[in-house]
Amino acid sequence: MSNREQYAMSPVSAAQSLQLWSAHVDALERHLSPKTWALAAVTVVLIAYPVARIAIPAILHGVVPDVIRTVLNLI
């Protein structure tokens, strides 16, 4: 058996690990207080707002001109 085969997950063990992960997440969700959920929501908003306002328009600005040039060359 090679080293790689030793660590490869079988479909059964992959399903078991997903079920274990799901159980951990469910337990975490049941035990978090409303204040913790509020703190998590504020954190997500503080991270998502700059991404939505700065990164996404910058990516679109960089991609759209190339797409337009390609379409115009096809015409």
Tens-level pLDDT at each residue, the chain (75 residues): 456 666 565 666 777 878 888 888 888 788 888 899 899 999 999 999 998 999 888 888 888 787 787 887 787
Contact indicator for 37, 45 with CB cutoff of 8 Å: no
Question: Tell me, what's the pLDDT at 46?
Answer: 95
Instruction: Residue 28: name the closest of 40, 16, 12 by CA.
Output: 40
Structure tokens at 29: 């969700």
Do 25 and 37 fall within a single domain?
A: no
Do 41 and 51 fall within a single domain?
A: yes
pTM above 0.85, yes or no: no
Do 1 and 22 fall within a single domain?
A: yes
Domain coverage including residue 59: 33-75
d(CA 13, CA 8): 10
Do 19 and 41 fall within a single domain?
A: no
